[in-house]
Amino acid sequence: MLYEQFKVRAEGVSAEVYRYATKIEALDYLIRFLRKEGLAETPEASALWAEGSFLDGMERNQLAAIAGLKFDVTRESAATARFGISQMEWALADTGSLAQNSTAIAQRLVSSLSTIHIALVPTSGILPDMPTLLAKVHPRDCAYLAMITGPSRTADIERVLTIGVHGPERLIIIFVDEWGGNN
Amino acid sequence: MGTEFKESIAKAVNNANLTGALGKFSEAYKVNRAKAYEGIDFEALRGRIADLKGYAAAHLDELSDLFQKNAEAAGATVFRASDPAKVREYILKVARDNGVTSVIKSKSMATEEIHLNQYLEKAGIEVGETDLGEWIIQLAGQTPSHMVMPAIHMTKEEVSDLFSKEVNERLTSDIPRLVKVAREKLRPTFLAADMGISGGNIAVAETGSIVLMTNEGNARLVTSLPKIHIALVGIEKLIEKYADVATILKALPRSATAQLLTSYVSIITGPTPNSDGSMKAMHIILMDNRRSEMAADPKFKQALQCIRCASCLNVCPIFRLVGGHVFGKVYTGGIGTILTAWFDELKKSEDIQGLCIQCGACTDVCPGKIDIPELIMEIRRRLVQDQGLPLLQKAIYAVVNNRSLFHGMLRAAFVAGKPFTSGKFVRHLPLFLADLTDGRSLPAIAAEPFRDRFKKINQPRLKEKAAFYAGCLIDFAYPEMGEALVRILNKGGIEVIFPEDQTCCGAPARYNGAYEVAASNAVDNIKALLREEVTYVVSACPTCTVALDHEFISTFESLGQTEWLPQAKILAAKTVDLSTLVKKLVDEGRLTLKEGQQLGTITYHDSCHLKRTLKVFEQPRELLQKAGYELSEMFECDTCCGMGGSYSMKLPEISAPILQRKLHNIKQTGAKTVAMDCPGCVMQIRGGFDQDGASIAVRHTVELLAEQVE
């Protein structure tokens, strides 16, 4: 129910929404997506993955062996990478938004400088709305609470809606039902 | 109004890019805004916002202290200042102490308010605006024309010329390509900047957090990439509780751009680590600059309930014609007029306050529940108090204040106006109605005013009585409307009396800031209308009805006069507009309309005062349909017709295009008759069609109903 509402709202603001039962299936889709969109070893075609609990229990070596997939997030690498992968803890069903404790700068770099931002989200993190989120996440535990609703947009030239100004021009959201552990 | 100001208006209304873009935007905005608010109780929501912002405005010192304590505990440095000069110096000092040579900014009206960019640039620091619209106008060397869409006045061709120069490459006017150029061009600036400066949409006292919202994502970069972040926040952005962030964010994006939420929202509480592991330096400046003074003003404190959504600009029939530039360099539109009068100076608002036609469209949509037209009137009043009235107006009000002289001159006008009369219209009226406009004819002064015709009406003796307040237009230009009213009320079992001593309702004086004149008009009318015991005081002019029902009281209150207040309240309680009274009589079965009539299609124009102040809009529609008309609603049925009393004479260059739009919308319905409840609107719209040549009957509801009573 919340998922359906979220999907309608998020797609309404040009986000692309997918849902998988397990992390393995989600990962499989993610790798296929990256390859289809031109993932390669060159910095401009690379993908940067910011640390998160999704990676717990994953075979890092196998992932690191994929050409173009990197885990060392710096200003420089983030500024050139085509893809940014991060995990967002929460989603807000009534506005189609994602939310994250972005205190760690790597989370912000990959989601704000990349051309395509891919967000991994536990389906259990979908909340009804912002009041629920704010009741859950207090600033004393979260110096930088970020909410993202669709890709970067502007209407500053002749009011024509245009996607991808300073932030990503695409937002891919992948929900995972069985996240496991403590997200 | 100054010549320079008049010239800026002429320039704006003749700029097809500007009026085209703003016009299209305002039309789409209404539809999209309504959609964004679907399923939300807007009245309840804005009630909560007005309460929480009102509370904050009443506790600015306390909340500033609390904010400072909590932000500092979170590791931020808080600087508090009232004087803009102190704010500029502080920012420059932080920059100098840290060897800053380049700054990136995300959009901030507070920095515009203190002219920060010029100051830093003079000190040798490079300042880059990163909001696309702000960057465009920075490149063009211009100022914002809209608070939310700063470059809405420019075409893609103009933008392409600017960008071409910037990147040394001939660009086409393809908008997605232009946006990409901006992204590529600004990216290195972001990465190289030593300091980021942002504003703050909200400052939360109980947590010391600031909230930033952007669609482009630039505020995220401004607050993440440089090692120093300065947030400049006006203290009116303070709220007490963290949970209330959600309340404001429910309204702000919906009202600003009809979005459910802006693409990026950041709630920042203290510094965060940089990518090299060091900690960011975060400075928050709480700026007063007369906001405390505003909070202490009993009238203007409500202006601090503003959440800066600019919806008052988006629905304003004047703003969509003139855009922001005529308002000056910083804050624009309705709320901008008020903020300019305070944050800059009262005198700076002298010209721009005159742009408000008092239609009240903004009061319907303001999420802070601010009565913007009322505050603009208060500015007018204070300007008149400070500087006195212009000589010509003084002469006019001297006349209006003397009933027998005023009425004598109106009668004389009939004689003087005669040679110029063609049919029901005069081309040029004498007196203060002289300076007239193209695109609209004015009514002839009636040969026999209503007050004379009334004596000849043979009324039945009835137990219930109503005093008829005619107002100048019905009395001297449209006496037939008054006769129609008497006929209807008689049929409904009410005898009409016409107190001879009634005079001008004072609205013209009040709307020009001459409250003393308005108060004296009020006293004369109270005496006249309460002399005889009646059940109702009825008027067929909404502006007059509002005067009797609300403004006599508020005029006395503004002036601190208490003597006539109790009587003003008695009068207000008896006052009713024509349609409401007739509806009541029909509902009670005291008045019947002819059955089974098929009178054809009609469209209805809502008069500003009737719809928005008196909240009457269903009654006339129901009555007209009951009488046998088929209603075909026009687009923007409740948008002002451009009359606005003397407004149409002071600013004909604005009034005329507003009228043209109204005529167009009426014609689009295909109806052969347009009804309305206001003789002022009849004068404007009938005069417009007279020049336009379309054969559409412009009638007051009272006339149409009088034809259909049994």
pLDDT digits (tens, 9 = 90+) for B633-659: 999 999 999 988 778 878 889 999 999
Determine what percent of chain A is predicted with pLDDT higher than 70: 98
Residues A158-175, mean pLDDT to the nearest whole number: 94
- Spatial distance between the Cα atoms of B281 and B261, rounded to a whole number of angstroms: 29
- Record: contact A150-B263, CB cut-off 8 A: yes
Chain A closest CA to B435's CA: distance in Å?
37
Angle at B244 between CA B241 and CA B248, to 5 degrees: 140
Nearest-Cα residue of chain A relative to residue B207: A139
Neighbours of B451 (CB within 10 A): 18
Chain B closest CA to A101's CA: distance in Å?
10
- Spatial distance between the Cα atoms of B177 and B156, rounded to a whole number of angstroms: 11
Query: E strands of B49-176, at which residues?
Result: 77-81, 102-105, 126-129
**Lowest mean pLDDT: which of A82-96, B327-341, B532-546?**
B327-341
Chain A closest CA to B486's CA: distance in Å?
52
- Record: contact B149-A156, CB cut-off 8 A: yes
Chain B closest CA to A59's CA: distance in Å?
26
The pLDDT score that the predictor gives to residue A38 is 96
- Record: contact A146-B264, CB cut-off 8 A: yes
Residue B428 has pLDDT above 60, yes or no: no
Q: Chain A partners of B254 at a C-beta cutoff of 8 Å?
A: none
Residue B427 has pLDDT above 50, yes or no: no
The pLDDT score that the predictor gives to residue B20 is 85
The model's pLDDT over B451-481, given as tens digits with 9 standing for 90+, comes to 999 999 999 999 999 999 999 889 988 999 9
> Considering CB atoms only, which of A13, A105, A162 is closest to B273?
A105
- Record: contact B261-A147, CB cut-off 8 A: yes
Domain of A17, in residue numbers: 2-178
> Considering CB atoms only, which of B154, B216, B246 is closest to A131?
B246
Which of B166-175, B381-390, B574-583 is modeled with the greatest confidence?
B574-583
Q: Chain A partners of B208 at a C-beta cutoff of 8 Å?
A: 139
Helices (H), A69-181: 75-80, 105-112, 130-136
Confidence of residue B437 (pLDDT cuts 50, 70, 90): very low
Nearest-Cα residue of chain B relative to residue A147: B265
> Considering CB atoms only, which of B25, B190, B269 is closest to A139?
B269
In chain B, what is the greatest distance between 2 CA atoms, to the nearest angstrom? 94
Confidence of residue B432 (pLDDT cuts 50, 70, 90): very low
Evaluate whether B224 touches A109 at the Cβ level (below 8 Å): yes
Nearest-Cα residue of chain A relative to residue B150: A156
Confidence of residue B391 (pLDDT cuts 50, 70, 90): low
DSSP-derived secondary structure for B260-299? SS-SEEEEE-S--B-TTSPBPEEEEEEE-TTHHHHHHSTT
- Spatial distance between the Cα atoms of A25 and B361, rounded to a whole number of angstroms: 54
- Record: contact B272-A147, CB cut-off 8 A: no
The secondary structure of residue B141, as a DSSP letter, is T
The pLDDT score that the predictor gives to residue B393 is 67
Q: Chain A partners of B271 at a C-beta cutoff of 8 Å?
A: 143
- Record: contact A166-B190, CB cut-off 8 A: yes
Confidence of residue B420 (pLDDT cuts 50, 70, 90): very low
Cβ-Cβ contacts under 8 Å for B326 (sequence gap 6 or more)? B5, B8, B9, B12, B352, B355
- Record: contact B207-A166, CB cut-off 8 A: no
Neighbours of A19 (CB within 10 A): 17
- Record: contact A166-B267, CB cut-off 8 A: no
- Spatial distance between the Cα atoms of B227 and B55, rounded to a whole number of angstroms: 35
- Spatial distance between the Cα atoms of B643 and B543, rounded to a whole number of angstroms: 12
Residues A143-167, mean pLDDT to the nearest whole number: 94
Evaluate whether B190 touches A74 at the Cβ level (below 8 Å): no
Residues B309-335, mean pLDDT to the nearest whole number: 90
| CATH number (domain holding residue A102) | 3.40.50.10420
H or E element, residue B422: strand B421-422
Per residue, the 3-state secondary structure of B519-588, as one string, reads HHHHHHHHHHHHCCCCCEEEECCHHHHHHHHHHHHHHHHHHCCCCCHHHHHHHHHHEEEHHHHHHHHHHC
What are φ and ψ of residue B467, in 5° steps?
-90, 130
Confidence of residue A181 (pLDDT cuts 50, 70, 90): low
Nearest-Cα residue of chain B relative to residue A163: B176
Chain B closest CA to A108's CA: distance in Å?
7
- Spatial distance between the Cα atoms of B1 and B438, rounded to a whole number of angstroms: 20
Q: Would you state the structure tokens that stand for residue B629, as one six-digit string?
A: 């008309």
Residues B557-562, mean pLDDT to the nearest whole number: 93
Q: Chain A partners of B178 at a C-beta cutoff of 8 Å?
A: 157
The model's pLDDT over B176-191, given as tens digits with 9 standing for 90+, comes to 999 999 999 999 999 9
Of the candidates B442, B589, B656, the residue with the CA atom closest to the CA atom of residue B10: B656
Q: Chain B partners of A157 at a C-beta cutoff of 8 Å?
A: 132, 136, 151, 154, 156, 159, 175, 178-179
Q: Number of A:B CB contacts under 8 A?
A: 174
- Record: contact A165-B217, CB cut-off 8 A: yes
**For chain B, what is the mean pLDDT?**
91
The pLDDT score that the predictor gives to residue B512 is 82
Residues B240-255, mean pLDDT to the nearest whole number: 98
Nearest-Cα residue of chain B relative to residue A72: B275
Please return the burial class of A57, using the count of CB atoms within 10 Å of its CB with bins 0-12, 13-18 and 19+. exposed
Confidence of residue B410 (pLDDT cuts 50, 70, 90): low
- The answer to whether residue A183 is domain-embedded is no
Residues A160-172, mean pLDDT to the nearest whole number: 94
Residues B220-237, mean pLDDT to the nearest whole number: 97
- Record: contact B221-A112, CB cut-off 8 A: yes
Residue B262 has pLDDT above 50, yes or no: yes
Residue B241 has pLDDT above 80, yes or no: yes
Q: Is the dihedral of CA A100, A105, A110, A113 positive or negative?
A: positive
The model's pLDDT over B27-77, given as tens digits with 9 standing for 90+, comes to 999 999 999 999 999 999 999 999 999 999 999 999 999 999 999 999 999
- The answer to whether residue A129 is domain-embedded is yes
The pLDDT score that the predictor gives to residue B249 is 98
What are φ and ψ of residue B19, in 5° steps?
-70, -35
Residue B226 has pLDDT above 70, yes or no: yes
Residues A126-147, mean pLDDT to the nearest whole number: 98
SS3 B453: helix
- Spatial distance between the Cα atoms of A112 and B220, rounded to a whole number of angstroms: 7
Q: Would you state the structure tokens that stand for residue B107, as one six-digit string?
A: 């959009």
Q: From residue B521, how far is each of A7, A132, B404, B408, B506 by CA, in Å? A: 62, 55, 13, 17, 5
- The answer to whether residue A65 is domain-embedded is yes
Residues B10-34, mean pLDDT to the nearest whole number: 89
The model's pLDDT over B343-387, given as tens digits with 9 standing for 90+, comes to 988 888 888 999 999 999 999 999 999 999 999 999 988 988 887
Residue B441 has pLDDT above 70, yes or no: no
Q: Is the ipTM of this complex over 0.95?
A: yes
Chain B closest CA to A54's CA: distance in Å?
22
Residue B431 has pLDDT above 50, yes or no: no
The pLDDT score that the predictor gives to residue B412 is 63
> Considering CB atoms only, which of B179, B243, B271 is closest to A165?
B179
SS3 A84: strand
Q: From residue B303, how far is each of B222, B502, B533 by CA, in Å? A: 29, 36, 41
Residues B204-232, mean pLDDT to the nearest whole number: 97
Please return the burial class of B9, using the count of CB atoms within 10 Å of its CB with bins 0-12, 13-18 and 19+. buried
- Record: contact A157-B159, CB cut-off 8 A: yes
Residues B574-584, mean pLDDT to the nearest whole number: 98
**Lowest mean pLDDT: which of B75-79, B428-432, B530-534, B608-612?**
B428-432
- Spatial distance between the Cα atoms of B204 and B213, rounded to a whole number of angstroms: 14
Q: Per the structure, how many domains does chain A have?
A: 1
Domains and CATH numbers, chain B: 56-290 (3.40.50.10420), 409-587 (1.20.1050), 600-706 (3.40.50)
- Record: contact B269-A143, CB cut-off 8 A: yes
**Lowest mean pLDDT: which of B245-249, B312-316, B345-349?**
B345-349
Q: Chain A partners of B157 at a C-beta cutoff of 8 Å?
A: none
Of the candidates B200, B272, B211, the residue with the CA atom closest to the CA atom of residue B242: B211
Q: Chain B partners of A104 at a C-beta cutoff of 8 Å?
A: 273
> Considering CB atoms only, which of B179, B242, B272 is closest to A103?
B272
The pLDDT score that the predictor gives to residue B426 is 44
Determine what percent of chain B is predicted with pLDDT higher than 70: 93
Chain B closest CA to A127's CA: distance in Å?
14
Nearest-Cα residue of chain A relative to residue B70: A140
Q: Would you state the structure tokens that stand for residue B288, as one six-digit string?
A: 């007063």
- Record: contact B207-A139, CB cut-off 8 A: yes
Chain B closest CA to A147's CA: distance in Å?
5
Confidence of residue B436 (pLDDT cuts 50, 70, 90): very low
Q: Would you state the structure tokens that stand for residue A96, as one six-digit string?
A: 């189609």
Query: E strands of B235-379, at which residues?
Result: 238-239, 264-268, 281-287
Residue B396 has pLDDT above 70, yes or no: no
